[in-house]
Structure 1
Amino acid sequence: MKRLFLDFVNQTEGKRRRITIQSPKENITSEQVSEAMDALISLGVVPTGYVKDRAAIVETNTNEFFNLL
């Protein structure tokens, strides 16, 4: 499973916020992600005082040994 993590930071208060997007679009560029993060800030989705900090696609694999229920 792939997830796109968009991390924002409030440098004054030392607080962090993360928006997680499940199954991001294939071949998404860093420029597209940066523009989307800017849009989230300008639309007020991210609280005032927060700025872009980090964006990363994280892929996890699950190897299930058993599931009893």
Structure 2
Amino acid sequence: MKRLYLDFYNETENKRRRIIVNDPVEGLTAEQVQSAMQTLLDSKVLEGYAIDRAVVVETSSNEFFDLIQ
């Protein structure tokens, strides 16, 4: 499973916020992600925060068994 983590930081309050997007669109560019993050800031959704980082994380799992279904 892929997830896109959008991290924001509020220096005044020393707090971090993360927005997680499950299954992000393939082929996203850094410019597109940064623009989307800036739109969130401009719309005051995360007032007082600044863009920190964005990262795509891909995880996998190997299920050994599932006894109760």
TM-score, structure 1 normalization: 0.94
* Distance in 2 separating the partners of 1:50 and 1:10: 4
Alpha-carbon distance, 1:44 to partner: 2.0
Moved over 3 A (4+): none
Map residues 40-55 of structure 1 onto 2, 5 A cutoff. 40-46=40-46, 48-55=47-54
Q: Match of 1:25, SS?
A: coil
Q: Match of 1:62, SS?
A: coil
Q: Match of 1:36, SS?
A: helix
| Corresponding residue for residue 31 of structure 1 | 31
Matched-pair identity in % = 56
Alignment coverage as a number of residue pairs: 68
Unaligned runs of at least 5 residues, structure 2: none
